[in-house]
Structure 1
């Protein structure tokens, strides 16, 4: 007995919900689509004076109408796609007693005092919108994407060609004030249950959200509330066009209170990044200099070094910091036990825009290590993990002669769709053409998320075309971060294999 109110995202109108509505109605649900003022109308329509408050009023009007017609026995579920979650939250805050659930469709929950512009992944768009403020500029609309530009706003995976044509033909400019006006909430909306529908093809998953919760990211901690549930769909950012029947099923289940719940920090089992390393390695002490830790072998003379580069983004306030995580320490101690200097260090990859300064930190750590008299400066290996994989690009593009090996475990080697544009400098798929004879060792997790696995395959294809020296170590049953999640014999052998390969290249 549910009445769904569907609120579209940027540039789109009520027409995007047609296929979904056709799937929900036979299930007995009521379906109501919001025509947000200034969107879904004829091209060139004026956007003067239209702001977030205008769209909140649009949603409120429909809530009141549905409430009057359906009566108290019908539960209202508000569904907001993309930008649409902001007017949804604003309206639910004022009608909390009438709303049974909010569904955030492939979008994060908006925050009090924060404008919708903050959720736009593309920094160039944020700058463009901000530049239109003043002298009446905010009354102009942000131009709708051309057919080949939708990918900038989210993955178009799964959208039929005809649907993409229709999406483009019916798109409207987005009124700038809707993006610039901060969302204002009284706090009443906090009582309304929330369901997030994550689209894997757009680079989001329950596993990724859980990791951010585990890291203590304050933006994500609220998502571990028992009132918050999640579903996943294997598609891009517009599931109402690509998987309408599957989305309808998810919405009906969400309305029934189903869905995956996240594990809150402080539960009985430690989060994945703080679980023990899968190998029993010696307790080798370390020396700390600034943000760099050296695990030194018991050996005479300068020794080769392996620097382990953690992934991310990692929130700035996380404690312990990555260099003290069991996996990083385990790898460094293993390297030291085998006669090389193992190095862990912290870099400043706190946000998707931080790759340039994280690269500066990696380069600085390398120089500090090479300058240490106990290190052979001509025998260095770099080993990248997870989101740190994009940082390999600098070293692949023009490898220095002292870099004897580059390794990467379950790396992300192409920016994920939901990340927005990343500086072209950090695209390993393009950079590998310059790798020459540099040995590259990739550890590939067989149970990796499809969106990350695809980046590895794209890299390997590019490496094959330029005949780069790439060795792949497979962990068929391993997951992302398998060193702490999957302490199996298969995983242990993969770590041994990768370490032996890296150390062999350092000894060559």
Structure 2
């Protein structure tokens, strides 16, 4: 049985997957979640984290034939991990995320600022394109209480990839939440948005989970079921 390795996105630690990990285990899956370098508030070296150190941490945490699940901004480090060690992963699943192409910068506006905190208001979060649909006040309060700023070495530096095409052959599933799968594939084919451009090189499957940008809180059981079914393929 493959193990499922859950990777949270910006501002989040492994705790963010708790409501998904339980249902996955009840379905018989082996599950672990990883707090990426830079997102552990107790780490004195937190601000030195980079996309490269995050990708290496994912590879180091993985076992042979792991299923890798990445949410949101973690898609960058996850894709870089499949580039470093494609043999470690039997499938990669992007939850409201995508494999990001070489040169892509998650937050180019950050510049030389040391870190990228969670915006001060939820209106700013939604204005940046991250839907809060399905989240109640308790969820939002927990999010803000536990959010950790993302180091500039992660948020404001480009994705780097090697020359090998082996990463393109890792079976891939895209779980579409904020945008329906039909629109994601249209944006992929148009090639105008770098976020979806790399998908043109990958024979991915697309599944829909209509909700906001944080499906691990808004629809955790449904997300777990989609991940479990993808694992069986």
Which deviations, in whole Å up to 9, do the C-alpha atoms of 1:156-206 show, x marking residues without a partner? 11013212111110001110111232222223311211111111xx3x112
Runs (4+) of structure 1 moved beyond 3 Å? 44-48, 212-226
**Given the two structures, how large is their TM-score scaled by the length of structure 2?**
0.87
Q: What does residue range 490-505 of structure 1 map to in structure 2 within 5 Å?
A: none
Give ranges in structure 2 of 5+ residues lacking alignment: none
Q: Which residue of 2 aligns with 1:113?
A: 103
Q: CA contact under 8 A between 2:168 and 2:202: conserved in structure 1?
A: no
Please list the CA deviations of residues 470-492 of structure 1 after superposition, one character each: whole Å capped at 9, or x if unmatched: xxxxxxxxxxxxxxxxxxxxxxx
Alpha carbons of 1:144 and 1:26: their partners in 2 closer, same or farther (altered >3 Å)? Answer: same
- Identify the residue that residue 206 of structure 2 maps to in structure 1: 230
Cα distance 1:210–1:115, how it changes in 2: closer, same or farther (>3 A)?
closer
Secondary structure, in 3 states, of the residue corresponding to 2:173?
Answer: strand
The equivalences for 1:303-342 within 5 A come to none
Which residue of structure 1 lines up, in the alignment, with residue 12 of structure 2?
12
The structure with more radius of gyration: 1
Whether the 8 Å CA contact 1:141–1:176 is kept in 2: the answer is yes
- Match in the other structure for 2:142: 166
Residue 114 (structure 1) shift: 2.4
Q: Post-superposition shift, 1:38?
A: 2.2
Write the deviation string for residues 30-63 of structure 1: whole angstroms up to 9, x where unpaired: 1111111221425x96643221112112212201
**Matched position secondary structure for 1:157:** coil
Aligned position for 2:83: 93
Q: In structure 2, the residue corresponding to 1:101 is in which secondary structure?
A: strand
The corresponding residue for 1:141 is: 115
* Partner Cα separation in structure 1 for residue 198 and residue 5 of structure 2: 24
Is residue 47–residue 141 contact of structure 1 (8 Å, CA) maintained in 2?
A: no
SS of corresponding position for 1:10: coil
**Inter-partner Cα distance in structure 2 for 1:176 and 1:15:** 22
Tell me: higher relative CO, structure 1 or 2? Use CA pairs within 8 A at least 6 residues apart.
2
Indicate the residue corresponding to 1:190 in structure 2.
168
3-state SS in 2 of match to 1:35: coil
Structure 1 residues 84-127: Cα deviation after superposition (integer angstroms, max 9, x where no partner): 0111111111221121111111123200232333xxxxxxxx43
Q: In structure 1, what is the Cα distance between the partners aligned to 2:22 and 2:215?
A: 14
**Is the Cα contact below 8 Å between 2:99 and 2:198 reproduced in 1?**
no
Q: Provide the rounded CA distance (Å) in 2 between the counterparts of 1:96 and 1:213.
A: 23
Normalised to the residue count of structure 1, the TM-score between the two structures is: 0.42
